[in-house]
Chains A and B, each alone.
Chain A
Amino acid sequence: MAGVVKAPGAFAITPHKVSVCILVNIYASPSQISVPFPFSSVSQHNRLGLYLLALTKSCDDILEPKLDQLINQLREVGGLLDHWLTDHVTSRLSSLSSPDDLFNFFNELRETLGGPDSGVMEDDQVILDPNSNLGMFLRRCILAFNLLTFEGICHLLTNIGIYCKEAILSCSSYELRRVDDSGNDLESLSEYENMDLNLVFKKINEEMEARKRATEQVSFHLHLPKELSTLVEDIEVFADPKSEHNDKGRESSSYASGELLRDVDPNGGVFLRTNWQIQGYLMEQADAIEKHGSSFTLNAFELTLRLLQKLAPELHRVHFLRYLNNLYHDDYFSALENLHRYFDYSAGTEGFDFVPPAGCNSFGRYEIALLCLGMMHFHFGHPKKALEVLTEAVRVAQQHSNDTCLAYTLAAICSLLSEIGFSTTSGILGSPFSPMISVGTSLSVQQQLFVLLKGSLKRAESLKLKQLVAANHLAMAKFDLTHVQRPLLSFGPKTSMKLRTCPIIVCKELRSGYHLISEFCCEGSTMTADGAFSTAWLKNLQKPMGSLVLSQDNGSRNNSNPFLFFTQPSSIPGSVMQLVGSSYLHRATAWEIYGSAPLARVNALVYATCFADASSSSDAALVHVKLIQHLAVFKGYKEAFAALKTAEEKFLCVSKSRILILKLQLLHERALHRGHLKLAQQVCDELGVLASSVTAVDMELKTEASLRHARTLLTAKQFSQAAAVAHSLFCMCYKFNLQVESATVLLLLAEIHMKSGNAVVGLPYALASLSYCQTFNLDLLRASATLTLAELWLSLGSNHAKTALTLLHGAFPMILGHGGLELCARAYITEAKCYLSDPSFLVSRNPELVLDPLRQAADELQALEHHELMAEAFYLMAIVFDKLGQPEQREEAASSFKNHVMSLDHPHDVEDPIQSDTLLNA
């Protein structure tokens, strides 16, 4: 009841536990031989031991297995012994016909355990160590039995009866199929029939029938008057439309719903696993929800939770799981409701890993509730609200001196500030931060973020929260990647600072996350991992032990390989793997920004191959996106779209997934290149819609959408409009401190002015962009800015051709080494143009100097289907051939030119499936 924290691991004796006890008794029967009676070899004996161990640990579900499931598993484990084992268990169970039998049974069990002081032991005698896993299990069972009231014992007896009867009913059909060796079984079967279980069984029979009738609900509808039967439809419709398309969630959903259909009727025979196992199960599910995101089936899991709540109303963690489930399915109101409910009940002090602090204060730990609430608002895209709540969390955590929570809260605020554009935090980040931001209040958001990050990192380090430290390092790296460190004080002695980002610092920060992987065990419990392996092992019983190596060789890569059960006694927790993996993702992004395509690709590949199992679905999607983008830039659209297709199969293409965005991006680029301006605009608008969905404005996506909008306008030769869009975009970037994006926008502005014929106006933009690139070490972007600058010079007149050429040659190594197809082609064409416009250059003297780059450009552009540039290349070629006096080749080039110009003007109508598909969907 109110305010009482339940002791963890409460334990109730159930029929399943009784049968496990019987098995343990067989395993460790007090006999004198090292290999007790029914076993023929040590390995057989050990295998049963392992099985029992797994049985007591596994946590794949909330309910205990039924007897028939147990028998089936025994069949897998027992090998030759299976008949003997099942017979023994069932006959032992059914011999328990009166309360006194139960008393005797548990007394016998006690003999299996060696006493704590029984030092004198014969060498070859099997005695269960009372402190071993199985010994503990046995002791807990005995204790639980001794605590039962007489009514409780009666219930246990009835339940054992139901448990057996059910198994017999479901087994009989099975047994009949196996006629060949049925002699033994039939005998035992008839034994049950004759069994003298008098009233108990009679009662059970009635119940069973009643239950059966309850499950066949069909009959009942037929008897209803019409008006009544119309109502029935809404009783049980659980079908989840999603699950059909969804491979990821299927495994989790199928058994969940199957389980429920079977157990919806609670008339008995439904027993929860131990608290410990259920908590393990819930934790696993929490991981699964996070991993699979919205592809995790909502309804099936919700049903499991509802059942669990019904069976164990005091297990409040259910509400938390429900919150998570709703959170990842974007159900704001239910998520909010469940979050509040969970913390109202648990006061933040629940969970089996919760150890009440030494000076146990009775305040509860509601600051954790605030932290979670803040994260929820963040997730749903209410940054201001999230910040308010987190501020309160900081204050309450300080008040109750909960340092751990404070550290996490600070980290959360940091990620909030860094991910969501705030133009100002004044009035939000208020007084509680004053101990941290003691420098002054006139700091910009970025400076505040920096101070917070530092503080959070220090706090996490002093509290030895390894994962948090690693996460903070990653956040720090992210900050360093895109922000110049300025002095915090605008007065006082100024040290000379070079205003650049520092890649070395970024690398250092990213590297420091690795220590985590060796030290992870300090935090988190290994219980789940343990339980998970037990579960996996139980699920793969059918794999024979002998062929372990073989099955490994066969290259089955799934996690549930039984081999893992032995090779990885302690695995790395998923969260640690995730963190380390995300450091690779960060690296890939960093290299992308710095402009090293190969390194970015390598890191993305490392992530995709090594961390795919542990990664959340959004991260996995992100890495695919990166790789596909790489393909598009370096190999052209054909390959990119082929890869996209496989990615789409792999990830559920829900709305606003990264994959969908990628698809739109690729479509847009291709449409631009091909000159399908209408399509381009349409795709661009769709991107814009995705950017400001109902939940929140995604600044990054919004920037990109308007950037693409400007680009489309530019291609459509609506220069003034394009310039206006780009200009307002720049203003926004400036306001929200998106400096890397600013560089891109400036470059675009320069291009717009160049194309509109105002090269002089374009020059300062290009230079500004260059200086941004320099500051942030954006090498590739810098090269392309240099290229634009060269083009600008060139369009100023032929007397600037030399300057342009020098600039271009300076940027060539970077462009050719890391640039994509389009950039290279542009560089080649510009080079050729430089030569051609140089009055001192004579074509006839060295035609290859011009023709070679032009051919290269044409080749590379082929993959991109970039008609405009291709036309330009062929036009130039035609001119060169003309000057060289080679009319045939000139005509050839000219006709190619004509083709490309034609297809640019009349985009052919052959639509490929991908894009029409998208437009239909979107």
Chain B
Amino acid sequence: MSSKESCRIELRTAIRQLSDRCLYSASKWAAEQLVGIEQDPAKFTPSNTRFQRGSSSIRRRFRTNEITSTPPTGVAYVSTPVMEEDEAIHGDFYLLAKSYFDCREYRRAAHVLRDQTGKKSVFLRCYALYLAGEKRKEEEMIELEGPLGKSDAVNRELVSLERELATLCKNNTIDPFGLYLYGLVLKEKGNENLARKVLVESVNSYPWNWSAWSELQSLCTTVDILNGLNLSNHWMKEFFLASIYQELRMHNESLSKYENLQGMFTFSNYIQAQIAKARYSLREFEQVEVIFEDLLRNDPYRVEDMDTYSNVLYTKECFSALSYLAHRVIMTDKYRPESCCIIGNYYSLKGQHEKSVVYFRRALKLNKNYLSAWTLMGHEYVEMKNTPAAVDAYRRAVDINPRDYRAWYGLGQAYEMMGMPHYALHYFRKSVFFQPIDSRLWIAMAQCYESEQLHMLEEAIKCYKRAANCNDTEAIALHRLAMLHRELDQPEEAAFYYKKDLERMEAEEREGPNLVEALMFLATHCKTQKKFEEAEVYCTRLLDYTGPERETAKSLLRGMRIAQSGFPSMDVEHFHP
């Protein structure tokens, strides 16, 4: 990896260039990474580094030790020369246009630049037109909403933009920013292959534009497409890969990429949040919570990614922390989909599902394609016993992203609730297909098979086995497996699973009826198998518990002692005449 200093220089130039072209979110991203790079403490006064100091003890606690700042060997990074500015002297018109742009008067900005021919001016003009079209589109979407949900509003600038950019592209008078915009336009027009190609060209010649990378990411929906991309090796590519791995549910790969990057960008909030998200997908909630707490300490007005944090708090049932978070985001920005979603989560945790639905709806009004809000709203409707509405909400989530296993799972649950286990199986199958490592999904499917209507126990056993193999935290699978095998009259298998369950309960120091049941079965099973010593161990353990089992254990023990000591064993009896 190139040195920190060169990275810093690259980023500084990029930020200037990006914000000069009004690509604000890309420049924001670059700036975040810039300050994320660890400073040389010798050169800076403490006040400079204070921002980074927040990194606290907690981070050190969870820091995975060795990977820090060891760049992967053998990867040669190309150094892309920082682009030369073509117009050293900014035209006055450009300045005017940029001010208009900053005031969100896009059309005016475009009009000012109508006769300018410099690459930069052309880009800004096109970009302003594009945004103007987008703005009008958003407005029309609401104005034109018909009775059947018709919202075919389109960006009316796309056609002329595409034509112009195509001409520029042909004449080879287009800069990487123009290519980015061209890619954007092509994507909107549905020409995905060409868009991908153009965007790759853009990021190869100017890798610091994160917006271009994100557009490219949204166009790579499978690993195959990703592998087909011809990307040159720049350190920005690592960010891209990390992000797309997460999108493609390759969480471990994504995590390791991010942790690698953290070696260089030690204090990047962005990377920290991404790591948290990846760990959330891996269901490591404890760590996620710590990371987010840390993140909020450094960046208290952050709203991005906070919905993930609220999900964690929800799962851990931290009422007050969740309410605190909700309060905080609503003071920061009330009309962000994330904020609404967090509040929805809070109400849901409080059991006020109607209110929760109101907030999820608001989140969806702000962003119709907000995936998790649809799914969460589905959950709320399930709680409210309004299954058709729940099914509808889940289905919308699935149609937005067919890989959303939570929504598939929700659909399955909804149908199971309505007493249609066979129909529900279709959805469970879908959900385990997309997330085969989640034991809860397998257990849900198994329970479906187990239901009295279907009673397909063999299939249920298969599902439970899968669940047991993927870290079943609630330890349902092993117990059910043992029970099912007992029900199917397969004592050997039943004993095997009871034993495993027992070991597990011992390891986790759990007690309860399951433990007694396991001991009871094992004791009788060992006795019939003539493994008296083992049986004795189980029986003695049973004596610690009260209830009828204790008596049974006592009588078992007595019987065994008589069989063992008092009387000749079976073999001897055999020889009796």
Contact = CB atoms under 8 A, between A and B. Distances in A.
B455 to A, nearest CB: 8
**Interface size grouping (class) on chain B:** 35 or more
A207 B154 CA distance: 12
Contacts of B147: 6-7, 10-12, 275, 314
B547 interface: no
Nearest to A232: B194
Given A235-B191, A340-B426, A3 B146 contact: no
Interface stretch (A208-216, A591-599, A855-863): A208-216
Given A341-B395, A392-B422, A314 B148 contact: yes
A223 B393 CA distance: 45
Contacts of B381: 2-3
B564 interface: no
A344 interface: yes
Interface stretch (A47-55, A238-246, A358-366, A870-878): A358-366
Contacts of A231: 193-194, 197
A223 B169 contact: yes
Given A210-B160, A266-B154, A336-B426, A6 B166 contact: no
A227 B197 contact: yes
Contacts of A313: 148-151
Interface in A231-263: 231-232, 234-235
A396 B411 CA distance: 17
Contacts of A270: 152
Contacts of A272: 148, 150
B361 A224 contact: no
B198 interface: yes
Given A266-B152, A341-B395, A347-B391, A12 B193 contact: no
B401 to A, nearest CB: 14
A7 B166 CA distance: 45
B420 A366 contact: yes
A345 B149 CA distance: 13
B238 interface: no
A433 to B, nearest CB: 13
A210 B415 CA distance: 49
A152 B423 CA distance: 43
Nearest to B152: A266
Interface stretch (B102-110, B293-301, B382-390, B514-522): B382-390
A3 B380 CA distance: 13
B167 interface: yes
B162 interface: yes
Interface string A318-343: 00000000000000000010001100
Contact of A345 (B156, B390, B395, B454): B395
A717 interface: no
Contacts of A2: 377, 381, 389-390, 392-393, 396
Contact of B163 (A220, A347, A388): A220
B198 A228 contact: yes
B170 interface: yes
B91 interface: no
Q: How large is the interface on A (under 10, 10 to 19, 20 to 34, 35 or more residues)?
A: 35 or more
B332 to A, nearest CB: 28
Contacts of B423: 366, 369-370, 373, 389, 392
A225 B165 CA distance: 12
Interface in B413-428: 415, 418-423, 426-427
Contacts of A199: none
A345 B426 contact: no
A315 B411 contact: no
B143 A152 contact: yes
B394 interface: yes
A303 to B, nearest CB: 13
Interface of B is mostly: helix
A323 B399 CA distance: 16
Given A214-B159, A364-B387, A224 B152 contact: no
Interface string A633-659: 000000000000000000000000000
A184 interface: no
Contact of B420 (A220, A223, A362, A396): A396
B453 interface: yes
B387 to A, nearest CB: 7
A396 B419 contact: yes
A124 interface: no
A207 B166 contact: no
A344 B394 contact: yes
Nearest to B149: A314
A395 interface: yes
Contact of A12 (B146, B390, B421): B146
Given A2-B377, A395-B453, A315 B148 contact: yes
B231 interface: no
Contacts of B151: 313
Interface string B110-154: 000000000000000000000000000000100110111111101
Contacts of B170: 223-225
A312 interface: yes
Nearest to B182: A228
Contacts of B163: 213, 220
B418 A312 contact: no
B399 A3 contact: no
Contact of A312 (B140, B149, B193): B149
A202 B192 CA distance: 33
Question: Which of B154, B160, B388, B394 has the most chain A CB within a 10 Å cutoff?
Answer: B388
A151 interface: yes
Contacts of A227: 197
Contacts of B150: 272, 311-313
A267 interface: yes
Interface in B424-472: 426-427, 453-454
B231 to A, nearest CB: 15
B197 A311 contact: no
A310 interface: yes
A275 B144 contact: no
Given A362-B388, A389-B423, A312 B415 contact: no
A198 interface: no
Given A224-B170, A344-B392, A347-B391, A10 B146 contact: yes
Given A344-B395, A362-B386, A225 B419 contact: no
A399 interface: yes
Interface string A368-397: 011001000000000000001100100110
B325 to A, nearest CB: 26
A859 B479 CA distance: 81
Contact of A213 (B149, B152, B159, B454): B159
A149 interface: yes
A120 interface: no
A1 interface: yes
B129 to A, nearest CB: 12
A802 interface: no
Contacts of A225: 169-170, 172
B330 to A, nearest CB: 23
Interface string A144-169: 00000101100100000000000000
B193 A155 contact: no
A227 to B, nearest CB: 7
Nearest to A364: B388
A155 B163 CA distance: 26
Nearest to B391: A344
B193 A311 contact: no
Given A3-B389, A272-B150, A389-B423, A223 B167 contact: yes
16 contacts: A1-B392, A3-B381, A152-B143, A155-B144, A220-B163, A223-B169, A223-B170, A228-B194, A232-B191, A310-B152, A311-B148, A313-B151, A315-B149, A345-B392, A345-B395, A392-B421
Given A231-B193, A388-B422, 11 more contacts: A2-B396, A3-B381, A6-B147, A7-B147, A152-B143, A313-B149, A341-B395, A341-B399, A364-B418, A370-B422, A392-B420
- Give 7 closest A-B pairs by Cβ, nearest first: A10-B147, A3-B389, A314-B149, A312-B148, A223-B170, A344-B395, A364-B388
